[in-house]
Structure formats: structure tokens, C-alpha cells
Amino acid sequence: MAVARRSIAKRLIRAARSFFDPGVLMQPFRLLHYYGYTHVKQRRLLTLGRDVRLAPNVSFANGERIQLGDQVQVGARCSLWAGKTTSWIRVGERTTFGPECFVTAADYGLSAGARITSQEMVERDITIGPDCWIGARAILTAGVTIGEGAVVGAGSVVTRDVPAGAVAVGVPAKVVRMRA
């Protein structure tokens, strides 16, 4: 009986310590800060089709110019960044992004004699057709179009259009075959 009481007392002490832990007391403030992250606040601005699945830590920029079709799946730690003023990212239905993909619809200017970050950005739309598969850690640069049913291999950097039904891999991505 005494052993049971000591065990209960130890549990109550541990519970009290965990409740008064500074980390626990700071959690409401962390949640308020978390709301401003690009995967929370920007999500309200997206145009989403039905049954879209987004990992909880996806990052969006300029979400008002990102359109995801029905049943699109976006994996963990992906970033979809539309341009600041004009360029869109449009993704067709049933397209799947593996983890850590990066899609950007804007590039910095490259004129000599001026700071890169001070130059006007060059914005170009990105269009990804339906039923595409974008492999893990793939990068899609501004202005590319990925055709219907295309596959972009993991770790590839897409700098040019990928035709429908093609499998493109590498840095820069090149078509290696057509899907059978």
C-alpha cells in the first residue's frame, strides 16, 4: 500500500513539473507566432480544388497566384512561390509532389553593376499539367511547363519545358524516355 502511494505521489509530482515547465507555458505564444509562417497564413489565399492534400509544413509565397487542381498532393517541406506581382503557379488535377520540391515563378535580374536583390524580378508563369509526378527535391524554375502525365525525377532541376508523357531527369533535367 505504501509503495502504491509513493508511486502515485511521484506521478503527481512529475505531472506538476511538466505542467509548470517554461516550454509548456510558452506554447500559446509559439502558436501565435506559427500562424504567420508561410504554410499557415498563405494557405487561405490559395485556389484549391477538391480533396487537395498538403503536408503541414508546405511553404507558399503569394498564395493568391497559386492554383492547385483536384486531388493534388504536396509533400513535406515543399515550397511553391508565385511571383510578387504577376506570375502564377497552376497545377493540374491528380499531380503529386514528393518531399522538399521547390517551385518558383520568379527570378532575380542579372544585370551587371547592380546588386542582384535590388533588381526587378523577372516573373514567368509555371504550368504543371494533370497526372504529373514531381520527384523528391526537384526544382522547377520560372517559366516552365510540365506536360500532362510527365514525370520529373528526384533531384532534377527543370529549366526547360517537359513534354506530355515524358520522363525528365538530371541537372539540368533532360527527357530520357517517354512513358509506355
Q: Are residues 52 and 138 in the same domain?
A: yes
Instruction: Name the residue range of residue 110's domain.
Output: 46-178
Q: Is 156 inside a domain boundary?
A: yes
Q: Are residues 135 and 58 in the same domain?
A: yes
Rounded mean pLDDT of 111-139?
94
Q: Are residues 15 and 83 in the same domain?
A: no
Q: Are residues 81 and 111 in the same domain?
A: yes
Q: Are residues 20 and 57 in the same domain?
A: no
Q: Are residues 79 and 163 in the same domain?
A: yes
The C-alpha cell of 98 is what?
514528393
Q: Collect all residues with Cβ–Cβ distance below 8 Å to 9 and sequence separation of at least 6.
A: none
Q: Are residues 161 and 100 in the same domain?
A: yes
Q: Are residues 72 and 146 in the same domain?
A: yes
Phi, psi of 73 (to 5 degrees): -120, 130
Rounded mean pLDDT of 139-150?
98
Q: Is 119 inside a domain boundary?
A: yes
Distance CA 35, CA 52 (A): 20
pLDDT of residue 131 exceeding 90: yes
The pTM score is: 0.78
Q: Are residues 112 and 141 in the same domain?
A: yes
At residue 123 the predicted structure's pLDDT band, cuts being 50, 70 and 90, is very high
Distance CA 55, CA 146 (A): 22
Domains held by the chain: number: 2
